[in-house]
Structure 1
């Protein structure tokens, strides 16, 4: 029967949510639930995600496992990063061929939260910081406007899973879903939070990388912003820890005062940094 595709940063809670869904489905309907994931392949995640060919092979193995298990009677949950848009499209083509519905469950956390959760794991289960950072930078977030990413359920770390809505999307709906599958969610809890998190992270990385090739006093351009970062009064570089602290403060404030024009987030953050560092 249906396929549930988990999606999110490394250590964003995907496995925990997959297990919660498995328990729910086993208790609420008389069907087998199969969880397919990296853990079942007995591979070292840092070795896999540090080698593009090995990663491609793992994705192919997971897809093949899903294809074998998707059928009329069972539910399949794919518990992996699933961070590549093209790969999610391949999964969509697979379920179309099998004539079974699917949905995405997107575990939306900040990179700081996921990094902390990663650090709290047993050493053998941790991503190295280099691999973790690379995966976060490569992450292609799902978008409910894409038919292969819909229906999309965006779950924050403090949220409870919308079990009934997910079940309805899988068992009571055959046509493609509306653009926003969880219509009760306000803008601030889904697209806005994602844009806020991604945009501010992109600005930080732009500043951090630019400082390697600039001197204090240079103007720094950042993606998506017409204004530039001005550190003209500073005689030193700003370290990432300081930038992340300012980012957290900006996010906390902006969550309380969300804007519907997400295209302005970059400029707003640049203005905040310029003001805070003067």
Structure 2
């Protein structure tokens, strides 16, 4: 349904704002005037995943912590969930990664930027009594490295800024964004690449070899007159093509076959950007190779 990404300095009050927003959203979903789909509101955070503040001391430890957060987000994201991601999310590349995952799932997105001054964050961090405070040097480092969200980039939009002076979050605007906002479709960068079947390489090689042999046999029988020709590839597959009125050599056909196989082998091994299902059946390969021969044989 929707992904709401929180972002802000460490100890800036993100968790309090996330809880405020969760309460507002659940209240609206339970309201008698609400007639939309049945939804649940969930929060994912470092605390929920038992990620220690210590990981932010070392980039090598922080990377798997972000991966755990991303995996948990992917697992819970769905059409029946408004998911609140309560974390610093201070790296714009990581926010973009989550945005792409949300687009692939076809859910709405928005970002909540919780703002507090560095001095206030340090003060609130020092006053914490839940054993989840950041070490002073880690706090300074994270504030220095923080990459602020911007409404000018698509992965942070729509962006809602909540300064420390506000008593509450802009619940009305966020509710409208997650229930009425535009659902951006997946693009080429977010879609999974369709893969060829395991026997595609064998079918490609066998079918093209069979067609070369059949074409040479038919040409020998007709004396190289050219014109429309039907090749029998297998008991159930036939290929139709038109040949020029001249004798075609085996070396020409072998060269075209190598070129054809090389191009399509790359599509099989690396995937393809074609939309929908890709057909690597014997019939489809025979049709493609016949078209390729027609287009590349010179009269």
- The answer to whether the superposition gives a TM-score over 0.5 is yes
SS of 2:112's equivalent? strand
Rg larger in 1 or in 2? 2
Q: Does 1:57 align with 2:64?
A: yes
Structure 1 residues not aligned, in runs of 5+: 177-278
Q: With structure 2 as the length reference, what TM-score do the two structures score?
A: 0.57
Shift of 1:38: 0.2
The reply on whether 1:80 has 2:87 as its aligned counterpart is: yes
Question: How far, CA to CA, are the matches of 2:132 and 2:107 in structure 1?
Answer: 34
Residue 147 of structure 1: how far off its partner (Å) = 0.2
1:31-110 mapped onto 2 (5 Å cutoff): 31-45=39-53, 47-110=54-117
Q: Mapping of 1:119-130 within 5 angstroms?
A: 119-122=126-129, 124-130=131-137
Deviations 1:41-77 (A, max 9, x none): 22320x2001112111111111111111111111110
Give the aligned partner of residue 12 of structure 1.
12
- Cα offsets for 1:88-142 (capped at 9, x unmatched): 0001100010000111000011100111110110162211110000000000000
Partners of 2:147 and 2:132 in 1: CA distance: 23
TM-score by length of 1: 0.61
**Alpha carbon RMSD of aligned pairs, Å?**
1.2
Q: Is 1:139 the counterpart of 2:124 in the alignment?
A: no
SS of 1:91's partner is helix
Distance (Å, rounded) in 2 between the aligned partners of 1:123 and 1:65: 24
Higher helix share: 1
What's 1:210 paired with? none
Alignment of 1:164-179 (within 5 A): 164-174=172-182
Q: 1:163 aligned to 141, 166, 171, which one? A: 171
**Cα distance between partner residues in 2 of 1:172 and 1:33:** 16
Higher strand share: 2
The structure-2 alpha-carbon separation of the partners of 1:58 and 1:120, relative to structure 1 and needing over 3 Å to count, comes to same
- Label 1:123 to 1:69 Cα distance change in 2 as closer, same or farther (>3 A): closer
Q: CA deviation at 1:32?
A: 1.2
